[in-house]
Amino acid sequence: MPDPPAERLRNRSVIQREIVVKVTLKETIRVRRTVADCFRYLKDFSTIEQWDPGVYRAEKLTPGAVAVGAEFLLQLNISGKRVPMTYQLTACEDNTRLVLEGVNETLHALDTLTFSAIEDELTEITYEAQLTLKNVPQFLRLPMMPALNRLGKKAVSGLQTALERPASAPKISWNSALKDKLILPAALDFTERGYLRQADKGLSQFMDGKTVVLTGPTSGLGLAAASEFSRLGAKLVLIGRDHQRLQAARDTVLDFSGADAATIDFFEAELSLLSEVSRVADEILAAYPSVDVLVNNAGVLPLQREVTAEGHELTLAVNCLAPVLLMRRLLPALSAGSRVINVASGGMYLSGVNLADIESEHGFEGAKAYAQAKRALVTLTEMYACEWKSLGIDCNSMHPGWASTPGVAKSLPAFNKALASRLRDARMGADTVVWLAASEELRGQTGDFWFDRERHPVNVLPGKALSPNRALALKVWVENALAGYMNSGKSKAA
């Protein structure tokens, strides 16, 4: 039975409204990297979040190694809104071609990336995107083309930046220096805004053959950093206090990176106890005589004052004493080119170090004790950087900005709630950690404090800096506190 006239009219109206627009974008770049490196980086399409400014977030939905059929969920930036789009890898020819098909309610995309080796260290990449857009209003069709072309050029420009290896470490920009002096603009960049404004967010320098020791890997920044290290090919040695959580973290990392299970090892230790730190250091030294990167990430921010079984205030023990002890005890495994990265906090800008009350015995406030411990850690990192420079070991500290992590939600619930929509996610906070560990251009860069891949001053507010004499007094106090746990690993200057 034929449709009644009214129904036919409605159907015709729907067809007219669903007019589609087809667009093809094509860009070619040349990158001074091997074709194998370029292909490896792009095969995991979730790296698009690192180089395409039109993508806020990208996640590999299919666990394990990337293969044909792998799916990715992208959050696109469209007119200030985040629009989901699912991609699937439909073709994968090693070092030659990748094809991905993407779809959401209003857009279908067929992306083809082709790779050609021009020289051993020069690769040509052609990115072609065939777009089919639904329901595009007539008045937008003409101005839409230049806008899409601009987006395409920005994307491949970002890809080139992500893949190219800089010749030297970044210099301090005048804009960043001015913000630090003005304080408030710098603090505003602690949110995700600061991360998203970075010109280069690429992590493409692979770490094959390198061993990374990482504390606090079971959630938050540590888990995000471990995942990225694994994707870059590093051997991971994880330190945490809970066996089940360590196993779960390993599974999460393997799902993310697709690495072999043999590339992740873990050791249990209660890092609030210096005897445990010393014990786990001995175990790691026995199993791994060479360590390329040590990341002291584990931290704690208790709301009430707690004292460990060894007599130290918990915040100081975990956030300062344990990292310093671990780096000193692992010194025999560190060599020229090794790197130590200590994770601090932007909160340390608000604190000095009160040597008369370093254990926070009087008027305890969790946030203040945390800031003081992190200030002490940054100061000591600078001092060990000077001591170990002749050994070729680089020591740097960094802060992750304001990131939404389980630790922040638990310890600072009001702060977490007030800034929920502006906080960074864990991978944004961990970005500078991974970059400091992986970037070859940073070799020899030591004794600095980093945020968003730039060096920053450690002293901004008046009265917070430690004089040389007070810094030395801090170092003496800490080394005396650690002396009983330094009974091995003295083959180098301790």
Q: Which residues are catalytic?
A: 370
Q: How far is CA 246 from the centre of its chain?
A: 19
Indicate the angle between helix axes 243-257 and 220-231, nearest 10 degrees.
40
**Which letter does DSSP use for residue 393 in this model?**
-
What is the rounded CA–CA span in Å between residue 131 and residue 155?
Answer: 15
Strand-pairing partners, residue 110, are: 101, 130
Helix (H, G, I), strand (E, B) or coil at 242: coil
Closest C-alpha to 416, from 364, 367, 350: 367
Helix (H, G, I), strand (E, B) or coil at 465: coil
Closest C-alpha to 327, from 299, 302, 294: 294
Strand-pairing partners, residue 99, are: 91, 112
What is the rounded CA–CA span in Å between residue 221 and residue 228?
Answer: 11
Closest C-alpha to 276, from 321, 223, 231: 321
Characterize 108-127 residue by residue with b for buried, 16 or more Cβ atoms within 10 angstroms of its Cβ, and e for exposed.
bbbbbbebebeeeeebebeb
H or E, element range at 173: none
